[in-house]
C-alpha cells in the first residue's frame, strides 16, 4: 500500500512540475514565434505553435542598428571584468573570514552583514561615484558591486564546511604562504561554489541597467539593457519606418511587437547559453555553501 501511495505521489509531482515548466517556457516560446512572424499573423491573438509566415525582417532591423554592436561590447566588458574581479575579491575575503584565528573576525563579519540590510541610498552613492571621478566610466558599473555580501557568506561557509583544515596546515608546513594556499589548494577545491557565484554575478551584470542610466551619459558606453529599455519605450513607428526604408523591407514587414520580441531574444541569448556549462555545479555549490559552516 505504501509503495502504491509513493508511486501516485511521484506521478502527481512529475505532472505538476511538467505543467509548471510549460507555464514558464511557453511565454518565451510565444515570444520567439512572434519575433519570426509577420505583423498580421500575430494580430489575431490566437495560440500559435509556429510562425505562419516565417521572416527574419525583425532581426534584420535589430542588427542594422549600430548601437546593438556597441551595447554588446560594453555589456561583455562589464560582465567579464565585473565577474572576474568579483570572484577574486569575494574569494580573498571569504578565505580570510574562514580562518578562525583571524583577529576581529566576528566584528568584520557583522560589519559586512550590516550592509546587506542598510545602505546609504541612491543620492549618497551617486555623490560618492561623482567624487571618485567615475561618472561616465565603465568602472562605475563594476566597482560599487564588486563584493556581494551574500556571495561572501556562501563562499565562506563552503570553505569552512567542505575543505579539510589539514590541507592548509600541510601546505603551510611545506613553506606555502597564504596566497599560494589560496590559489593552488583552496580555489581548485571551490569549483562548485565559484561556478555558482560566477553565474549569479554574470546574470546580475548582464541584466543591470539602472546604474548605467544613472552613471553613464556617453552613448558609446551604454550597455545592451539600456538599449533594450530604449527600444521597449521609445522605438516608435517613425523609427521603424526609417529602418525599413534603409533595408528595403516591405511596409508591413515588422511592427513594434515583432521588433521588441526579436530584440529581447537578441539581448537574453548569450547569458542563456552560459547556463548549461555551469548547471552541474549550481546545486552542489549553493547547497553546501548555504548549509555548512
State mean pLDDT over 192-205: 88
- Can you give the CATH number for the domain in which 84 is found? 1.10.3720.10
Q: Is residue 17 part of a domain?
A: no
Domain enclosing residue 188, as ranges = 31-42+57-291
Q: Is residue 15 part of a domain?
A: no
pLDDT at site 78: 93
pLDDT at site 158: 86
- Please name which of 54, 61, 287 lies closest in space to residue 193, comparing C-alpha atoms: 287
Q: Is residue 215 part of a domain?
A: yes
Q: Is residue 48 part of a domain?
A: no
pLDDT at site 291: 47
Distance between CA atoms of 140 and 129, rounded to whole angstroms?
7
* pLDDT greater than 50 at residue 247: no
- How far is the first Cα of the chain from the last one, in angstroms, to the nearest whole number? 40
pTM of the model as a whole: 0.80
pLDDT at site 227: 82
State mean pLDDT over 243-269: 67
Q: Is residue 9 part of a domain?
A: no
Sign of CA pseudo-dihedral 167, 169, 170, 175: positive
Distance between CA atoms of 84 and 175, rounded to whole angstroms?
28
Q: How many CB atoms lie within 10 A of CB 103?
A: 7
Q: Could you tell me the pLDDT band of residue 141, with boundaries at 50, 70 and 90?
A: very high
Give per-residue pLDDT as tens, 166-188: 888 888 888 888 888 888 888 88
* pLDDT greater than 60 at residue 253: no
Is residue 190 within 8 Å of residue 158, measured between CB atoms?
Answer: yes
Q: Is residue 70 part of a domain?
A: yes
pLDDT at site 79: 93
Give per-residue pLDDT as tens, 52-110: 778 888 888 888 777 888 888 999 999 999 999 999 999 999 999 988 888 888 899 89
Q: Is residue 206 part of a domain?
A: yes
Q: Is residue 21 part of a domain?
A: no
| Contacting residues for 139 by C-beta, under 8 A, at least 6 apart | none
For the ranges 21-35, 39-53, 230-244, the maximum mean pLDDT occurs at 21-35
pLDDT at site 201: 92
- 3-state SS of the chain is CHHHHHHHHHHHHHHHHHHHHHHHHHHHHHHHHHHCCCHHHHCCCCCCCCCCCCCCHHHHHHHHCHHHHHHHHHHHHHHHHHHHHHHHHHHHHHHHHCCCCCCCHHHHHHHHHHHHHCCCCHHHHHHHHHHCCCCCCHHHHCHHHCCCHHHHHHHHHHHHHHCCHHHHHHHHHCCCCHHHHHHHHHHHHCHHHHHHHHHHHHHHHHHCCHHHHHHCCCHHHCCHHHHHHHHHHHCCHHHHHHHHHHHCCCCCCCCHHHHHHHHHHHHHHHHHHHHHHHHHHHHHHHHHHHHCC
How many domains would you assign to the chain? 1
The CA-based angle 265-268-271, given to 5 degrees, is: 145
Amino acid at each position: 500500500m505504501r509503495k502504491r501511495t509513493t508511486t501516485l505521489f511521484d506521478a502527481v509531482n512529475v505532472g505538476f512540475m511538467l505543467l509548471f515548466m510549460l507555464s514558464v517556457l511557453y511565454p518565451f516560446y510565444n515570444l520567439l514565434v512572434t519575433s519570426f512572424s509577420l505583423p498580421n499573423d500575430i494580430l489575431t491573438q490566437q495560440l500559435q505553435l509556429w510562425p505562419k509566415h516565417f521572416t527574419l525582417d525583425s532581426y534584420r532591423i535589430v542588427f542594422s542598428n549600430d548601437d546593438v554592436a556597441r551595447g554588446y561590447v560594453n555589456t561583455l566588458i562589464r560582465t567579464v571584468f565585473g565577474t572576474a574581479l568579483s570572484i577574486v575579491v569575494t574569494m580573498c575575503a571569504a578565505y580570510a573570514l574562514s580562518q578562525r584565528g583571524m583577529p576581529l573576525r566576528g566584528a568584520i563579519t557583522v560589519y559586512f552583514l550590516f550592509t546587506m540590510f542598510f545602505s546609504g541610498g541612491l543620492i549618497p552613492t551617486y555623490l560618492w561615484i561623482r567624487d571618485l571621478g567615475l561618472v561616465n566610466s565603465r568602472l562605475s558599473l563594476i566597482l560599487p558591486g564588486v563584493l556581494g555580501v551574500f556571495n561572501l557568506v556562501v563562499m565562506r561557509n563552503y570553505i569552512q564546511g567542505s575543505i579539510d583544515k589539514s590541507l592548509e596546515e600541510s601546505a603551510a608546513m611545506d613553506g606555502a604562504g597564504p596566497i599560494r594556499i589560496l590559489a593552488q589548494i583552496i580555489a581548485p577545491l571551490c569549483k562548485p561554489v565559484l561556478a555558482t557565484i560566477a553565474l549569479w554575478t554574470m546574470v546580475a551584470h548582464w541584466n543591470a541597467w539602472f546604474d548605467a542610466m544613472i552613471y553613464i551619459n556617453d552613448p558609446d558606453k551604454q550597455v545592451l539593457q539600456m538599449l533594450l529599455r530604449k527600444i521597449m519605450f521609445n522605438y516608435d513607428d517613425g523609427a521603424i519606418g526609417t529602418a525599413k526604408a534603409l533595408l528595403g523591407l516591405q511596409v508591413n514587414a515588422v511592427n513594434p511587437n515583432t521588433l521588441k520580441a526579436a530584440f529581447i531574444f537578441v539581448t537574453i541569448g548569450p547569458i542563456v547559453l552560459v547556463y548549461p556549462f555551469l548547471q552541474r555545479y549550481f546545486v552542489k555549490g549553493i547547497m553546501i555553501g548555504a548549509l555548512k559552516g
